[in-house]
């Protein structure tokens, strides 16, 4: 239905800035070509620089797929694996970024260098200060409205107590109403208002096999289990791998609390590529942005995938920001589309009768 990697964004300024210290001669690539790149992003400069010993780690599936299509090795470093150079593009969320700095130091070989780049508008100075707290002296330069900073710490420079504390920041943690989440996920520390509105309008007669598209840490799916006793199985689809563990834990708790067994599957999957399974119902609070960019096409692609995966008499329950233009694609894919509620800037839509 959509081209592979349709929503995998191209290289950005931080990626371009990351390699400036090598161009200026301030840093040299390791002779053994072993490099770990955390939160790697595909781009022309990366293809030019990368060598066979480079390992790119990326938890967001569309970005990971794009790296693979660029011929780069994608995976996760073993717990005890060390590299003479660790590159990273830290995220905006500070706890998530601190955990990533700690992981970088954990995988750094003695005498190695950690190198990071962040946009100035997304906490670059704070990121540099955090790396300095962990590793001691840090050097930096500015390019492309980004800050590039690096450290080559001696063993005595590393604050190992702080490193352990920051590694723990990425562990699933309790947020509200007993749900577990982790920093950096969508609405990671709260119940999203749009999802809560959809939950208010979940039909109790949902039955059979249900899918949750863009499931995040599993709030919607857990509520389906709690409120819809005729649901026998639920599949959670989520492109961010870091959401999968808290989602599994939250669904296990939901089953314990309702006192019945529901077949639960949590899938690391790009919904825009379509679904292999057919469903009696689908629920979704689809994403409509990537970073700061609004992408209503992303929500429309979720709707197309849902329509293609529903059984002929299946139904889609969708929540979205009120202004998002989903009605046309819904009308083209379903015979009956109705808005159940519009409130607080959101709309809940039910669509039934998949068009052949």
Domains and CATH numbers, the chain: 13-169 (3.40.50.150), 173-354 (3.40.50.150)
Residue with tokens 């825009």, as numbered in its chain: 272
* pLDDT tens-digit readout, 142-200: 999 999 999 999 989 999 999 999 999 999 999 999 999 999 999 999 999 999 999 99
pLDDT of residue 321: 94
User: Kind of pairing, strands 293-294 and 289-290?
Assistant: antiparallel
Alpha carbon distance 73, 103 (integer Å) = 19
pTM of this prediction exceeds 0.95: no
pLDDT of residue 1: 33
* Cα-based distances in Å from 151 to 104, 105, 254, 295: 11, 10, 45, 36
pLDDT of residue 290: 56
Average pLDDT estimate for 72-78: 96
Residue 262 sits at φ, ψ, to 5 deg, of: -125, 135
Name every residue whose Cβ is closer than 8 Å to that of residue 353 and which is 6 or more positions away in sequence. 312, 313, 334, 335, 336
Would you say 39 and 89 are in contact if contact means Cβ atoms under 8 Å apart? Answer: yes
Q: How confident is the model at residue 289 (pLDDT cuts 50, 70, 90)?
A: low
3-state secondary structure of 257: helix
pLDDT of residue 3: 38
* pLDDT tens-digit readout, 113-152: 999 999 999 999 999 999 999 999 999 999 999 999 999 9
pLDDT at residue 222 greater than cutoff 60: yes
Q: Where are the extended beta strands (E) located within the chain?
A: 35-38, 54-57, 83-88, 108-119, 139-143, 146-151, 173-174, 180-181, 207-213, 230-238, 263-268, 279-284, 289-290, 293-294, 310-321, 334-343, 346-354
Both tokens of 142, joined, read 């500015």
pLDDT of residue 287: 87
pLDDT at residue 7 greater than cutoff 70: no
Residue 80 sits at φ, ψ, to 5 deg, of: -100, 10
Q: Out of 6-10, 143-147, 282-286, 342-346, which region has the weakest mean confidence (pLDDT)?
A: 6-10
Mean pLDDT of the residues in the chain: 93
pLDDT of residue 74: 97
């Amino acid at each position: 239905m959509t081209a592979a990697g349709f929503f995998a964004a191209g290289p950005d300024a931080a990626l371009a800035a990351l390699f400036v210290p090598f161009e200026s001669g301030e840093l040299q690539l390791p002779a053994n070509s072993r490099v770990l790149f955390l939160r790697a992003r595909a781009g022309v400069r990366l293809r030019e620089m990368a060598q066979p010993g480079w390992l790119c780690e990326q938890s967001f599936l569309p970005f990971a797929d794009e790296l693979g299509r660029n011929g780069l090795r994608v995976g996760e470093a073993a717990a005890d694996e060390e590299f003479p150079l660790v590159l990273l593009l830290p995220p905006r969320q500070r706890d998530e970024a601190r955990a990533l700095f700690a992981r970088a130091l954990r995988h750094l070989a003695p005498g190695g260098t950690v190198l990071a780049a962040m946009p100035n508008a997304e906490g670059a100075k704070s990121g540099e200060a955090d790396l300095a707290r962990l590793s001691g002296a840090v050097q930096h330069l500015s390019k492309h409205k980004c800050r590039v900073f690096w450290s080559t710490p001696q063993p005595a420079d590393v604050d190992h107590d702080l490193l352990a504390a920051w590694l723990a920041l990425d562990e699933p943690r309790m947020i509200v109403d007993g749900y577990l989440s982790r920093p950096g996920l969508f609405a990671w520390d709260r119940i999203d208002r749009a999802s809560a509105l959809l939950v208010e309008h979940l039909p109790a007669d949902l039955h059979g096999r249900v899918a949750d598209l863009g499931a995040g840490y599993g709030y919607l799916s857990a509520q389906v289990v709690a409120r819809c006793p005729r649901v026998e199985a639920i599949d959670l689809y989520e492109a961010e791998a870091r959401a999968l563990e808290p989602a599994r834990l939250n669904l296990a708790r939901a089953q314990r609390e309702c006192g019945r067994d529901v077949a639960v599957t949590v899938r690391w999957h790009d919904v825009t590529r379509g679904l292999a399974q057919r469903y009696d119902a689908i629920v979704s609070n689809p994403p409509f942005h990537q970073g700061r960019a609004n992408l209503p096409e992303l929500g429309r692609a979720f709707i197309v995938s849902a329509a293609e995966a529903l059984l002929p008499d299946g139904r889609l329950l969708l929540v979205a920001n009120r202004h998002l233009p989903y009605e046309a694609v819904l009308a083209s894919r379903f015979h009956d589309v109705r808005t159940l509620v519009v409130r607080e800037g959101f709309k809940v839509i039910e669509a039934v009768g998949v068009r052949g």
